[in-house]
Amino acid sequence: MNYRHRYHAGNFADVLKHAVLLRLLAGLQAKEKGILYLDTHAGRGGYDLTAAAEGLSRPREPEWPAGVGRLWGLADLPAELRDYVEAVRAFDREARARTGGGGDAGAGPRFYPGSPRLAQASLRAQDRAVLCEAQPEEAAALAEEFAGSRRVSTQRMDGYTALRAMLPPPERRALVLIDPPFESQDEWARIVEALGEGLRRLPGGCFAVWYPLTARARVDAFYRQLLGLKGLPPCYTVELLVGGEEAGLKLWGCGVLVINPPWESAGPLGEMARWLAPVLAQAPGATGGVHWLVPDN
Ligand SMILES: C[S@@+](CC[C@H](N)C(=O)[O-])C[C@H]1O[C@@H](n2cnc3c(N)ncnc32)[C@H](O)[C@@H]1O
């Protein structure tokens, strides 16, 4: 497990994933009944972006300036992104105050919230969160970050095992975020297997899976495997390409698969991805949108 999210925090992939996450949570919270938010691959909760520029042996190019950094000074954000940027600002403000970090928030964030902190900030009194992380250092940082929190518990464990262990929850309602590092080739197969198991345990649960776009054939195979799941409920993908497949970027885009999406969430998320594409573009061919795999009708 070599992956460390601190190098990538706030990049274009985080922008898409975290903005989608907040929209899904808000959509599920349209109903009064409480939900479980299960983050199978949680990371450490929040990140100091100054660490993003410090590699293990030599300085690294931080990724956040081409992600959340490009949204920072914009006054005319579309409605779908305002909550996300405001949540990042609030986390940054609070972390600066807590650490005596001071500095000029006008130049860009110094601290960036991971999915756990973003979700936590959205929880209502009737909601709760379970955050899982397998890498020992990250898991320790996560546990420290949420020590004493009433509605949030952290687990040092394999995220796929957690999915089996935690579902179905007593609430019978859940948003499950699966956001693995894709370090091994069998990650795609493990996701499909976990989704099959998760849907068997909680057929109406909302499952969101982040995935990288590095090879279209790989993603097409993933869709085919998903469609092979018996009784796959309505689902769509929200994709953001920061450059065309031919543009020579290693990671030319990413997507979030959403199974059992909240009512009428596809339209606004499609708008959001289309708006983000030119703003976060790194090469010609940037585009974004929603594609239904199993239509909701
Ligand atoms: C992409 S990062 C998560 C980022 C986080 N979800 C966010 O949006 O802020 C993936 C995380 O999964 C952790 N990880 C790797 N293998 C895991 C496993 N089998 N179970 C749980 N966590 C794992 C890595 O250590 C890493 O922190």
The closest alpha carbon to 132, from 5, 257, 45, belongs to 45
Q: What is the mean pLDDT of the chain?
A: 94
Mutational pocket test of ligand 1: of 4, 5, 178, the residue with most ligand atoms within 8 Å of the beta carbon: 5
- Pairing, β 111-113 against β 46-48: antiparallel
Burial label, 90 (beta-carbon count in 10 A; 0-12, 13-18, 19+): middle
Burial class (CB in 10 A: 0-12, 13-18, 19+), 102: exposed
Q: What is the CATH number of domain 5-294?
A: 3.40.50.150
pTM check: above 0.85: yes
Among residues of the chain, what percentage have pLDDT more than 70? 97
212: Cβ below 6 Å to ligand 1?
no
| pLDDT tens column, 123-140 | 999 999 999 999 999 999
**Distant-in-sequence, close-in-space partners of 113: CB < 8 Å, separation ≥ 6:** 18, 45, 46, 47, 87, 88, 91, 121
Crossing angle of the two packed helices 79-99 and 12-28, in degrees rounded to 10:
110
Whether pLDDT at 77 is above 70: yes
- State residue 217's pLDDT score: 92
Higher-confidence position of 54 and 15: 15
pLDDT at 53: 75
Give the ligand 1 atom nearest the CA of 161. 20
Q: How far apart are CA 62 and CA 49, in angstroms?
A: 8
pLDDT in tens, 2-26: 778 788 999 999 999 999 999 999 9
Measured in Å, residue 253 CA sits from the centre of ligand 1 at: 19
Per-residue pLDDT band for 44 (boundaries 50, 70, 90) equals: very high
Q: How remote is the CA of residue 159 from the centroid of ligand 1, in Å?
A: 8
Provide the residue ranges of all domains of the chain, joining segments of one domain with +. Answer: 5-294
Annotated catalytic residues are 179
Residue 178's pLDDT band, with cuts at 50, 70 and 90, is very high
Cβ–Cβ under 8 Å, residues 134 and 156: yes
CA of 43 to the centre of ligand 1 (A): 5
Is 182 close to ligand 1, i.e. is its CB under 6 Å away?
no
Whether ligand 1 lies within 6 angstroms of the CB of 127 is answered as no
CA distances (Å), origin 113, targets 69, 93, 119: 14, 11, 9
d(CA 288, CA 127): 31
Residue 84 has pLDDT above 70, yes or no: yes
Q: Does the Cβ of 5 fall within 6 Å of ligand 1?
A: yes
